[in-house]
């Protein structure tokens, strides 16, 4: 049971309040939290307020749940009151009401709606109880067809009874009765963001506690269990194993990798390696902030996160410089391993930094991990169809290196033998060094919380299969909306991002002519941690909706709500997509198939960043008849993209009604 204390209204009114406060204090102690006089005083006030409100409203038939834990948010709801027609989510504050406090209560209500089975078909009302005001004033605009959850409602402590009566009178009788006892035992299974999950795992919360809201939660447990099983076999037998974890975008590969590093499999020294610099920066900063909040000294917190999360290119170069140096880790997780550089790219390095490598990154990784005495395990996380740069070798290079070495065994899901694209095929057929384990594939999207079919829809769109995409859209509540207006997209994102949910803009790095449409700013590498971790009204936060993150800044990360600005680098040409690049003062077609695939995959990354809604903004381009003024963005090209997305089932964005004065205060 997630609540620290539950009872009926009648039991609450009959109990000694000091006894209830004592039970809450014991529950706090049992969970390892220190008791404070401040917390005790807050409980005293809250319990008296609830007692008076239930007496005043005749709430003997209600149900109360106190200190209800929300794992995803790592917080607790102060109190939940369950009437016969509403779930009231109460947040108590001693200060005057603030917008931040209202958003906190609203966020709790949203969390219950999305992840608590007993809340999905009932009215949810977030309530801020402020001891800084007196009484309760009903909203100026009464509820006609209230959304679930409703907008936050504010009351003073002495007005809670009046608020309860108003809610009961304002809400219609539910079609399905709300039973308090059943609600209390209903499962709460949150889908954490990758940042939330990393923070919880780093604090030693196992993946089994980070369940999902759907039946496919078992896939995460199966895959995490399979990784642990194969790591333990290598540890026991003193062997070396490469474990390939495959999956669609947003299926939880990174989560499984982090669990391997921070959990039982990584007991001892383990490291999470990635070439995704923004992901490293964001996760390091998130873990460090959390560790500091838990009492770790700032410098020590940053040192620990640097050891756990490493840049894969630096790891490989350090190992290449000294061929006899054995790393301290026996287990490494190679994130986005399909993006490991081939030999040519490894030797060439980057424009800004010459390389010290002599082989492919896959070859160097296996060579370096062959040096620790005894056993070694390399967990390779493989994102299907997410290669976005020239020189990314795919699964085929890993297979070639394993075949040539002969001193490693490998295990992977069967699909690595039957991939359509050669680069995504580990081997052309069975190999003595390769064992197959279907548990190592994740085929259900965790990222799209409300609609798992979103990833399949994206795949159909990028294949150009409008009929298939439309069939998916007709069978579900597709979370993709289409607009031709930039301001309308921003307004919609602000409306979708209720509570403390995060919105942000994304765009392809190659969408160079978006600057002419009013969207020029990109999120720089230095800005990425603040963009993902800070919240509006901090202008550096994604919620400012000023700068857009490219595929390089957001791959592996996610937002709750995303606005995707579609560029002229990926347009419709007849019945197919035409990838392009901007060179000099004009667009030029991309001829090489791998380069065309990279551009297509960039849009796959961008289209799968949202946990909830994605708003697709297709600019109008240069007005018809005025193309001569700017031939780089003709309206006909943009119209064709919008028409195709609409044909695929993307829903036209309907402008939100103007807010009432009362709503503007919330």
> How far is it, in rounded angstroms, from Cα 222 to Cα 219?
5
Q: What is the mean pLDDT of residues 321-334?
A: 88
Q: Which of 185, 214, 241 is the last residue of a domain?
A: 185
Q: What is the pLDDT of residues 501-524, one digit of tens each?
A: 899 999 999 999 999 998 888 998
> How far is it, in rounded angstroms, from Cα 452 to Cα 206?
23
Average pLDDT, the chain: 85
Q: Do 230 and 153 belong together in one domain? A: no
Tokens (6 digits) for 552: 């390089």
Burial group, residue 617, by CB count within 10 angstroms (0-12, 13-18, 19+): buried
pLDDT of residue 644: 97
User: Is residue 113 one of the residues assigned to a domain?
Assistant: yes
pLDDT of residue 446: 61
Q: Which of 185, 219, 245 is the last residue of a domain?
A: 185
Q: Do 106 and 208 belong together in one domain? A: no
* Domain of 626, in residue numbers: 454-661
Q: What is the domain-level CATH number for residue 72?
A: 3.40.1350
pLDDT of residue 539: 93
Q: What is the mean pLDDT of residues 391-409?
A: 86
> Is the model's pLDDT at 663 over the cut of 50?
no
In angstroms, the first-to-last Cα distance of the chain is: 32
> How far is it, in rounded angstroms, from Cα 78 to Cα 92?
7
Q: Do 180 and 229 belong together in one domain? A: no
Q: Do 162 and 244 belong together in one domain? A: no
* Most confident segment among 33-47, 411-425, 619-633: 33-47
Q: What is the domain-level CATH number for residue 273?
A: 3.40.50.300
User: Is residue 654 one of the residues assigned to a domain?
Assistant: yes
* pLDDT-derived band at 208, boundaries 50, 70, 90: very low
Better-scored residue on pLDDT, 382 or 448: 382
> How far is it, in rounded angstroms, from Cα 664 to Cα 636?
39
pLDDT of residue 71: 67
User: Is residue 610 one of the residues assigned to a domain?
Assistant: yes
pLDDT of residue 477: 87
Better-scored residue on pLDDT, 628 or 562: 562
Rg of the chain over all Cα atoms, to the nearest angstrom: 27
pLDDT of residue 238: 94
> Is the model's pLDDT at 200 over the cut of 70?
no
Q: Which of 167, 185, 203 is the last residue of a domain?
A: 185
In angstroms, what CA-CA distances link 527 with 303, 531, 545? 21, 6, 14
**SS3 annotation, 480-547:** EEEECCHHHHHHHHHHHCCCCCCEEEEECCCCHHHHHHCCCCECCHHHHHHHHHCCCCCCCCHHHCCC
* pLDDT-derived band at 131, boundaries 50, 70, 90: confident
Q: What is the pLDDT of residues 287-318, one digit of tens each?
A: 787 777 767 777 777 777 777 788 888 888 88
pLDDT of residue 276: 77
3-state DSSP assignment of residue 434? strand
Q: Do 541 and 565 belong together in one domain? A: yes
pLDDT of residue 212: 35
Q: Do 435 and 474 belong together in one domain? A: no
pLDDT of residue 337: 87
Helix count and strand count (H, E) for the chain = 23, 23
Burial group, residue 83, by CB count within 10 angstroms (0-12, 13-18, 19+): buried
* pLDDT-derived band at 481, boundaries 50, 70, 90: very high
Going by their DSSP bridges, the two strands 570-573 and 576-583 should be labelled as antiparallel
Number of domains forming the structure of the chain: 3
Q: What percent of the chain has a predicted confidence (pLDDT) above 90?
A: 47
Least confident of 12-16, 389-393, 406-410, 467-471: 389-393
User: Is residue 447 one of the residues assigned to a domain?
Assistant: no
> How far is it, in rounded angstroms, from Cα 440 to Cα 381?
10
pLDDT of residue 349: 67
> How far is it, in rounded angstroms, from Cα 490 to Cα 652?
15
pLDDT of residue 623: 73
Q: Do 175 and 248 belong together in one domain? A: no
Q: Do 47 and 169 belong together in one domain? A: yes
Better-scored residue on pLDDT, 86 or 201: 86
Q: Do 71 and 95 belong together in one domain? A: yes
Q: Do 505 and 635 belong together in one domain? A: yes
pLDDT of residue 627: 58
> How far is it, in rounded angstroms, from Cα 275 to Cα 377?
19
User: Is residue 449 one of the residues assigned to a domain?
Assistant: no
> Is the model's pLDDT at 189 over the cut of 90?
no
Better-scored residue on pLDDT, 293 or 459: 459
User: Is residue 371 one of the residues assigned to a domain?
Assistant: yes
* Most confident segment among 392-406, 460-474, 517-531: 460-474
User: Is residue 31 one of the residues assigned to a domain?
Assistant: yes
pLDDT of residue 334: 92
Q: Do 280 and 401 belong together in one domain? A: yes
User: Is residue 666 one of the residues assigned to a domain?
Assistant: no
* Most confident segment among 75-79, 448-452, 566-570: 566-570
pTM: 0.72
> How far is it, in rounded angstroms, from Cα 375 to Cα 507?
43
pLDDT of residue 293: 73
> How far is it, in rounded angstroms, from Cα 339 to Cα 334?
10
Q: Do 305 and 426 belong together in one domain? A: yes
Residue count of the chain, please give it.
Answer: 666
Contact 82, 116 (CB under 8 A): no
- What region does 533 belong to: left with phi over 0, alpha with psi -120 to 50, or beta? alpha
> How far is it, in rounded angstroms, from Cα 27 to Cα 17?
15
Q: What is the mean pLDDT of residues 539-561?
A: 90
Q: What is the mean pLDDT of residues 355-359?
A: 82
* pLDDT-derived band at 385, boundaries 50, 70, 90: low
């Amino acid at each position: 049971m997630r609540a620290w204390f539950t009872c009926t209204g009648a039991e609450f009114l009959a109990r000694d309040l000091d006894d209830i406060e004592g039970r809450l204090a014991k529950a706090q102690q049992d969970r390892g939290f220190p008791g404070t006089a401040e917390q005790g005083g807050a409980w005293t006030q809250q319990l008296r307020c609830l007692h008076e409100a239930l007496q005043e409203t005749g709430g003997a038939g209600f149900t109360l749940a106190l200190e209800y834990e929300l794992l995803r948010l790592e917080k607790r709801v102060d109190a939940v009151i369950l009437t016969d027609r509403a779930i009231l989510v109460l947040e108590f504050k001693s200060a005057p009401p603030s917008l931040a406090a209202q958003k906190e209560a609203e966020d709790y209500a949203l969390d219950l709606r999305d992840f608590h089975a007993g809340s999905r078909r009932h009215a949810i009302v977030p309530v801020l109880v402020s001891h800084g005001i007196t009484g309760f004033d009903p909203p100026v605009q009464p509820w006609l067809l209230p959304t679930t959850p409703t907008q936050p409602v504010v009351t003073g402590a002495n007005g809670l009874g009046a608020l309860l009566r108003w809610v009961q009178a304002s809400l219609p009788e539910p079609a399905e009765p709300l039973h308090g006892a059943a609600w209390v035992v209903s499962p709460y299974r949150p889908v954490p963001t990758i940042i939330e999950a990393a923070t919880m795992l780093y604090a030693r919360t196992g993946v089994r506690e980070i369940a999902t809201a759907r039946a496919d939660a078992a896939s995460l447990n199966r895959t995490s269990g399979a990784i642990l099983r194969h790591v333990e076999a290598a540890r026991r037998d003193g062997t070396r194993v490469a474990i390939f974890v495959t999956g669609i975008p947003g299926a939880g590969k990174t989560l499984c990798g982090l669990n391997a590093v921070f959990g039982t499999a990584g007991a001892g020294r383990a490291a999470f390696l990635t070439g995704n610099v923004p992901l490293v920066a964001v996760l390091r900063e998130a873990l460090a902030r959390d560790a500091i909040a838990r009492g770790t000294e700032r410098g020590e917190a940053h040192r620990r996160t640097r050891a756990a999360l490493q840049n894969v290119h630096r790891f490989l170069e350090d190992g290449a410089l000294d061929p006899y140096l054995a790393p301290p880790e026996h287990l490494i997780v190679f994130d986005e391993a399909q993006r490991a550089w081939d030999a040519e790219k490894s030797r060439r390095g980057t424009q800004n930094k010459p390389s010290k490598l002599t082989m492919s990154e896959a070859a160097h990784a296996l060579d370096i991990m062959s040096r620790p005495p005894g056993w070694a395990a390399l967990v390779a996380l493989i994102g299907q169809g997410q290669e976005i740069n020239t020189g990314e070798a795919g699964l085929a290079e890993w297979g070639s290196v394993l075949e040539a070495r002969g001193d490693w065994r490998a295990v992977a899901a069967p699909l690595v033998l039957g991939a359509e694209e050669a680069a995504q095929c580990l081997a052309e057929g069975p190999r003595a060094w390769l064992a197959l384990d279907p548990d190592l594939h994740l085929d259900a999207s965790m990222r799209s919380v409300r609609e798992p079919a979103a990833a399949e829809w994206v795949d159909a769109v990028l294949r150009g299969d409008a009929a298939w995409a439309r069939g998916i859209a007709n069978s579900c509540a597709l979370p993709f909306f289409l607009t031709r207006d930039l301001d309308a997209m921003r307004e919609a994102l602000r409306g979708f991002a209720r509570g403390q949910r995060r919105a942000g803009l994304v765009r392809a790095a190659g969408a160079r002519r978006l600057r002419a449409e009013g969207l020029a700013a990109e999120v720089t590498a230095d800005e990425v941690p603040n963009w993902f971790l800070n919240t509006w009204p901090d202008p550096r936060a994604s919620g400012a909706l000023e700068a857009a993150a490219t595929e390089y800044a957001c791959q592996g990360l996610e937002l709750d709500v995303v606005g995707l600005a579609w560029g002229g680098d990926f347009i419709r040409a007849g019945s197919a997509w035409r990838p392009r690049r901007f060179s000099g003062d004009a667009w030029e077609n991309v001829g090489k198939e791998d380069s065309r695939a990279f551009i297509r995959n960039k849009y796959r990354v961008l289209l799968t960043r949202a946990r909830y809604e994605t708003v697709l903004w297709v600019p109008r381009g240069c007005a018809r008849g005025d193309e001569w003024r700017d031939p780089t963005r003709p309206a006909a090209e943009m119209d064709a993209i919008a028409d195709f997305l609409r044909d695929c089932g993307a829903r036209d964005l309907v402008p939100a009604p103007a807010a009432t004065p009362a709503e503007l205060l919330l």
